[in-house]
Amino acid sequence: MERKDILKFAKMARIRLSEEEIDSFADFEKMHSFLRQLDNVGVTGIEPMAHPLEQSQRLRSDEYDPKINRSSIQTCASHTKDFIYLAPENIKKSTD
């Protein structure tokens, strides 16, 4: 995997990498070829398995749980105001 690929996937994952960290991906190729061991396995007619016991997940009713309230949850956030999470502006105003 080339440097530009590493930077592309880092951007997709929203992680900024230092030069030293980019260099640490030198063993990515070794890992990649390790994972390539599956290439020669015959899987024709085999269904993918997403759940280890093939069970479907239950649904529950969409009910308000008073035990978990907004103010206690928001104590974990770095920036809040009037029960709203604060973050830099994301959608720019049109300059037309």
Partner 1 sequence: MLLKTISGISHALKKKEFSCVELTKIYLSRIKTLNPALNAFITITEETALNDAHQADQRIALGSATPLTGIPIAHKDMFCTQGIKTSCGSKMLDNFISPYDATVVQKLKEAGAVLLGKTNMDEFSMGSSNEHSFYGPVRNPWNLEAVPGGSSGGSAAVVAARLTLAATGADAGGSIRQPAAFTNVTGLKPTYGRVSRYGMIAFASSFDQGGTLTRSAEDAAMLLNVIAGMDPKDSTSSNQPVPDFTQTLNATLKKVRIGLPKEFFTDPLDPKIADLVLTAAQTLEKMGATLHDLSLPHTPLTIPTYHILSSVECASNLARYDGIRFGHCCEHPKDIDDWYERSRAEGFGLEVKHRILMGTYLSSKEGYEDFYIKAQKVRRLIANDYIEAFKKVDLILSPTTPTTAFKIGSKPNRVAMYLSDLLTASANLAGLPSLSIPCGFLDNMPVGLLLTGKPFDEARLLNVAHQYQRNADWHRRLPKEFS
Distance CA 36, CA 1 (A): 14
Please name the residues in contact with 32: beta carbons below 8 A apart, sequence gap of 6 or more.
1
What's the burial of 25, exposed, middle or buried (CB within 10 Å: 0-12/13-18/19+)? middle
Residues in the chain: 96
66 binds partner 1 (CB under 8 A): no
Interaction with partner 1 in 16-45: which residues (CB under 8 A)? Answer: 16-18, 21, 24-25, 27-28, 30-31, 34-39, 41, 43
In the list 2, 4, 12, 95, the residue contacting partner 1 (rule: CB under 8 A) is 12
DSSP tag of 48: P
How many residues touch partner 1 (CB under 8 A)? 54
51 binds partner 1 (CB under 8 A): yes
Closer to partner 1 by Cβ: residue 89 or 96: 89
Beta strand extents in 20-94 (DSSP E only): 80-81, 84-85
Q: Which residues bind partner 1 (CB under 8 A)?
A: 1, 5-6, 9-10, 12-18, 21, 24-25, 27-28, 30-31, 34-39, 41, 43, 46-53, 55, 57-60, 67-68, 72-73, 75-79, 85, 87-90
